[in-house]
Chain A
């Protein structure tokens, strides 16, 4: 256990990514202490104010304080990513486990389904679902996006289970009379942990990318604050060409930081998992 921890601490890229994400999460968790959150409501301030004085990042055309909005939007955006990633990981992990363990027909069906769904561009299906929904909320958004984030975990877990089930310690357990469900829970699942962690980060990043895409098309939660919706409203109101940089730059920077954090975390995670692989030979 200590050795694992040590190895995680050595992977600087992973720490950098997770640190960045944690910092953003903490900052927004402390939002009520930093800023008066009621300033993020429509009409709470004079509209179109450049940064300065009471508004460190100015206000938008609807009289919302951009700094307060930003701090409230970060956790909402992260919530969509994490929730969708969790659902995707749960469903995908289970399907991958089933496919890899039972093989044969089960595997063929699950693998084909995952391959087909990976070919159809996610944005296309998401657009269709999102247009058919009457009112979009942050939670609903996460569920919809999750519907298309199970394929990568499925494939990753399936490949690992296929390889793990042939290992000698699994044979030993099998010869000792451990069977079926118990064997999977005790011998396979613990060894999947690093792969599950790696595909979780990938699933979260994919879900966030899909979410931001839907939001940019105007299909996001219209009545809630997320980073993607801030960019959408800014673009919708022509903030970019009107020179209201203080409105669109903060959410773009925040989103970019989140995505860079996720990339660093997933690259680091990948290295960690693969160095483990090499060590095991």
Chain B
């Protein structure tokens, strides 16, 4: 048990370390004075720079370009550890961490709910497809979903937006809640937030359901051919019990591994859906920051994304031995 835990925690730490280092290095590997390039690019684009002198000073101090590289790096690590991500260039002097953390709940809410729905429904659908007595209609439903799973989420989002925002305008197509509405902790706001999340969530769910269904079907077909299923049949257990307790349960384990492996892809996909629907989460903020060439915001979001994915994967890794005790003794 302990070696497994240590290995997993070590891995997560390594991922975070590499993510922070990549974040530090890439902008420095590029030729030219980063500060001047930044500010001239913003003013050329007609961006709101505010007090240029103050922004430049803040930038240079942040980069610490006059000091040795190693000192800069150690400083950077220290700042990152305290979640001090610097200040926004486009909205000086807003702190990056504040802005990014404010949009985090939107992304977690949207992505978490959509992923959960699509994982559960997709897994059940895949399970039913492997069921020998499955109705034929199920296959007819499944095929378009499998085809959709090949397409990036945001492209489906574009199509849904055109249908429900233009051709048959019944659903809101932009934002997380109505423009001008002050969000409060009441039922009306919750309802409005859910109402606005329908289309972005539907894009993610429809485009990812097929992936889970295909994976689950493949896994279950394999499990149903194994010896312990035959034994269960020989014991005279009901087909229903065999299917759920002996088949589904064993096929669920690799399915969870799939979830952990696809986490990065899921997040990347969901971020782009936010861009299409101007949803006030991390992805839309990233899109805006790229448009404004706001390097520190971009870096902050990149760092936050890498770290949160590493943490969620660690969580899944720690949950795994509770479901399947064998993993702690198996060699990786």
Contacts and interface: CB of A to CB of B under 8 A. Distances in A.
Interface of A: 112, 115-125, 127-129, 131-133, 209-210, 212-213, 216-219, 231, 235, 240-241, 243, 245, 248, 252, 255-256, 259-260, 262-263
A240 B14 contact: no
A122 B264 contact: yes
A262 B150 contact: yes
B161 A218 contact: no
Given A116-B11, A217-B275, A212 B152 contact: yes
Given A121-B306, A124-B306, A213-B268, A219 B15 contact: no
A123 B271 contact: yes
A127 B15 CA distance: 18
Contact of A216 (B22, B151, B154): B154
Contact of B290 (A217, A235, A259): A217
Given A212-B152, A217-B275, A235-B276, A128 B302 contact: yes
B266 to A, nearest CB: 9
Nearest to A252: B155
B202 interface: no
Given A112-B14, A115-B11, A235-B158, A122 B268 contact: yes
Given A123-B271, A260-B147, A131 B158 contact: no
B64 interface: no
A240 B155 contact: no
A119 B310 contact: yes
Given A119-B15, A217-B290, 20 more contacts: A116-B14, A119-B11, A120-B309, A128-B302, A131-B293, A132-B26, A133-B30, A210-B268, A217-B287, A231-B158, A235-B158, A240-B165, A245-B162, A252-B155, A255-B155, A256-B155, A259-B151, A260-B150, A263-B147, A263-B149
Contacts of A129: 26
Contacts of A209: 152, 265
B19 A120 contact: yes
Contacts of B149: 263
Contacts of B57: none
